[in-house]
A and B are shown apart, each in its own frame.
Chain A
Amino acid sequence: MQTIDISTIYACQRGDQGAFRRIYEAYNQKIYRLIYRYCHDPEETLDLTQEVFVRIYTKIADFRSECSLETWIYQIAINTVTSAMRKSKSHEPLDHHCADIEGQADIHIEMQELGQHIERSISTLSESLRMTFILAVIEGLPYTEVGKILGISVEAVRMRVSRARHLLRESLQPYINEGENL
């Protein structure tokens, strides 16, 4: 991944298209992946990632290095995604889906399918748990960084991640048992 130095940020703030391209190259995969894990819909992911980068371009002049560029970009992505999801209200919390997943009695799945079940279960976690879990566990960001991005304490991050793991473990337990016995 490219590292973005301060001169690239300044150049982008002056409207330098090449500098913006470098920022795009450095972050497009992270942002696309984050949004995909969040909404689990390729078309929606494409639309929202586009919106995030347009916002980055139009707001970069306001970036003041009070936090890292990465934190700032993640904050834009999260605001874009959560406000879009609130408008569409298409994602129900995990509790509504547990019964469906648990109700599938015949569990002879390949490991690839477990991945799909994991993705689906993550995408149905409640909004706050989902985003915290994706940033801390899938993206592997330190809890302090996740706290800064989401504007919550490290303790709250820790609690949310643990709660998300607990819900995922409950909903995926039949598959976990199956996998552990392989």
Chain B
Amino acid sequence: MKCTIYQELISAWLDDEISSFEKLELQKHLDQCPSCRAIWKSVSYLQEQILRLTDPDVPDELWNRITEEIRKDKQTEKVILLPTAYGRKLLEAKGESYAKVFDSSTRNINKKTG
């Protein structure tokens, strides 16, 4: 096998994604190949440092921002989705024009958001 294949095995080994047969093959190769041994040493060291990375703190404001966004979406949804086929039927039953009611609803929203 070429060294590049063993380098893939080194990577998989670090993630515990290697079979026992592959592990044995890799160990044999590392005993004979100084170049792959050096790579194994470097990536193992890199792995140690990666596992020591500090986790970022989640800002406290995140939950409020999410709920606020959902609330805004719901408001928009209510007015925009009201004139569905069912909504139209309701309006027609009342003898009102869908276009007239929809225009007036969106105007009200524009007033509030504008």
State the A residues within 8 Å of B (CB): 17, 21, 24, 28-29, 32-33, 36, 42, 45-46, 49-50, 53-54, 57-58, 111, 114-115, 118-119, 136-138, 140, 142-143, 158-159, 161-162, 165-166, 168-169, 172-173, 176, 179-180
Contacts and interface: CB of A to CB of B under 8 A. Distances in A.
Contacts of B59: 46
Contacts of A114: 49
A179 B49 contact: yes
A115 B15 contact: no
Interface in B20-53: 39, 41-43, 45-47, 49-50, 52-53
Interface in B51-65: 52-56, 58-59, 61-63, 65
Given A115-B49, A142-B17, A158-B11, 7 more contacts: A32-B56, A54-B70, A58-B70, A115-B54, A138-B50, A140-B15, A161-B11
A173 B73 contact: no
The B interface is mostly helix, strand or loop, or mixed, namely helix
A72 B12 CA distance: 25
A162 B49 contact: no
Interface of B: 7-8, 10-12, 14-15, 17, 39, 41-43, 45-47, 49-50, 52-56, 58-59, 61-63, 65-67, 69-70, 73
